[in-house]
Chain A
Amino acid sequence: MPGDVRSDGGGPGWVSSLRVRRRRAEGYTWSDGVTANPDDRWFADLMCAAQRGDGTAYTSLLRELVPLLRRVVTRRAGLDNEADIEDVVQDILLSVHTVRATFDPTRPFLPWLLAIARNRIVDAARRHGRARAREVSLEELTVTSGADPTNTSFDGGDTEALTKAIEELPPGQRQAISLLKLHGLSLREAAAATGMTEGALKVATHRAMAALRRKLAGE
């Protein structure tokens, strides 16, 4: 029972101090408030029982680990969203389950657990970093296209000059502009319609746009 073990893990101050020093010497290197956890032996016993197939002991162990893991994940992963923290905690629990055979009953439990936690936290941080790089904040986007001045301030322009400039383009460039920019065809559709390659269409469009820009600027 948890209570029994906790009382077993207590004792006079100097005993606890000795235990802390011994555990530090055994390699408890994380500074997450778990360096001197007196429950280590109890956790180890529960894990041994779980390795023998004891579901009740396993449930107790995992439930006891959750608050500890939440604390570790919050500190190490730098996550502030509760759902994200919970995701990482669940990841760690799943990993603990998958590799529970690697726990050696003769060795301390917490370094074993924290090595798994550290690995999963690093993976989660990497995933979050990638997802964040792909995301565009909704706050940065305008609600309607009306906020973009180019969408509202168009005065029609000199359509006559534009039409004339397009007509003066070489046939290939004119066709490309007409299909891609005026009729809105995709590159693939335009290529199928004209028999040109997509690369040739891109070049023709690029040259046509440059020529139109020059003509309309009055060069």
Chain B
Amino acid sequence: MDRPTDILIERLAASVVPVRPLASPGVRALKWLGVAVLWMLAAALMIQPRADVIAAVRDPGFAAQAAVGVATAMVAATAAFASVVPGYGAWRRAALMTVPVIWFIWFAGGAVLAGIHAPLAVVGSECLASLLLFGSVPFVAIAVLLRRGAPLFPWRTLAWGALATGVLADVGTRFCHTNGTRAHLVWHAAGVLVVVAIGIAAAPAVLRWRRAV
């Protein structure tokens, strides 16, 4: 029992305390979505919803885009939570990639159909600021939750988490801004990419193997 590995095992066993197993990735994603939606509501009230919000919600195109956005955020968040659980099959992660692709195609389609009615620069600053406000708390929340997992693929995990945050922030922003123009859509897509870039940049600091003993 003098080998360093045996000594380490003794130390680890001596320091073991009860831990609650993590819930499944889907359940964790749902909890995160709940927190994020609450924040979105609060942020929307702070900024003030757009004047035609009731009419917008009744518009099937708007509702469908919002639904696809929420579904995308949910799947991306599930992918992020799945990637911090060792042993999840690669095929499952690949399947989780399909919905964000659908969202992007939907988004790009909307951009092609819409016309440019607003100056790009003005729209850009408004949209980016709103996206960052809407995405701030959900991003912190998902980062905190992801840290309870295993940092197997930090960049990939945080990219998924940031994508979930960005897409959800995009949905939230649509309740406060009129965004039927191509200029808005371009800047919303850019905003989502900015959030993803922030996530990837923060990955090494947020997700790393911590010292056990």
Q: Do A and B bind each other?
A: yes
Tell yes or no: B87 within 8 A of A by CB. yes
- Interface of chain B residues 1 through 39 with chain A (CB within 8 A): 3-6, 8-10, 12-22, 24
Q: In the bound complex, how far is the Cα of B86 from the Cα of A107, in angstroms?
A: 11
Beta-carbon contact of B12 and A62 below 8 Å = yes
B85 close to A (CB within 8 Å): yes
Contact of B99 with A by CB under 8 A: no
Q: Out of B6, B14, B150, B211, which one reaches A102, CB within 8 Å?
A: B150
Q: In the complex the two chains form, is B87's CB within 8 Å of A55's CB?
A: no
Nearest CB of A to B116, in Å = 47
Q: What is the bound-complex CA distance between A107 and B25, given in angstroms? A: 13
Which A residues are CB-close (under 8 A) to B84? 102
In the complex with contacts A59-B10, A99-B149, A89-B19 CB distance below 8 A? no
Closest-by-CB residue of A relative to B17 is A53
Among residues of B, the one whose C-beta sits closest to the C-beta of A103 is B21
Docked Cα-Cα span, A62 to B149, in Å, equals 20
Q: Which residues of A contact B150 (CB under 8 A)?
A: 95, 98-99, 102, 115-116, 119
Separation of A62 and B15 alpha carbons in the complex (Å) = 13
Interface contact B18-A51, CB-CB below 8 Å? yes
* Contact across chains for B210 and A89 when beta carbons are under 8 A apart: no
Given A27-B87, A108-B87: 19 more A-B contacts, CB < 8 Å: A51-B19, A51-B21, A54-B16, A55-B14, A56-B13, A89-B5, A93-B8, A93-B9, A95-B150, A98-B211, A101-B19, A101-B22, A102-B148, A102-B149, A103-B21, A104-B22, A104-B24, A105-B21, A111-B87
